[in-house]
Amino acid sequence: MDVDDDFRAAALWIRVQDRFTPDITDYDVRLARATRDAVGRFVALDLAMHAAHPTGLPHEYLAFLAVDPRHQGQGLGSRLLRHHHAVLDADGTPAYLEATGDRNARLYARHGYQPGQPPYRAGDSPALRPMWRPPRPVGSRPDPALRPADRSPWIRLNSRD
């Protein structure tokens, strides 16, 4: 058996779980290839996150938000959130995410996310805190209007970039 056969065997195991179908071509094979020996942990995490994910109401799912550690604490995550929330609010679309720590949960709470169901874990993962943000009527909040840089689809994160 070659390496690709090993990944296909792991992918078959993932398909056996058959509890959700991601909209990513060859997700199971790609996950197995990327995570190698940890594939079981990632499958458990996927299944736990899927089980906790709200259903029945269309919404945007914020899977990842990351800022280079050298640039954290400078408001970049907030700028990204404000930009995306302006789009969601204009469409009347709610948002859902899982915060992975207290600091993240506080950031998201400042942007209108409310705790949902109790935190959960997948094996030895960090606690995941489900949070929901209802859309805000456009122009209803006292936040200052988005700065011109926030309106651009390509936000300039660092003046040296």
What tens digit of pLDDT does each residue of 119-133 get?
999 888 889 999 999
What tens digit of pLDDT does each residue of 28-42 get?
888 888 888 888 888
Question: Are 134 and 124 contacting, i.e. CB atoms less than 8 angstroms apart?
Answer: no
* CA-to-CA separations, 99 to 15, 48, 71, 142, 144, in angstroms, rounded: 27, 14, 19, 25, 26
In this structure, how many other beta carbons lie within 10 angstroms of the beta carbon of residue 133?
A: 23
d(CA 52, CA 154): 32
The per-residue pLDDT of the chain, averaged, comes to 77
Is the pTM here over 0.85, yes or no?
A: no
Instruction: Report DSSP state, residue 125.
Output: S
What tens digit of pLDDT does each residue of 66-111 get?
889 999 889 999 999 999 999 999 999 999 999 998 989 999 999 9
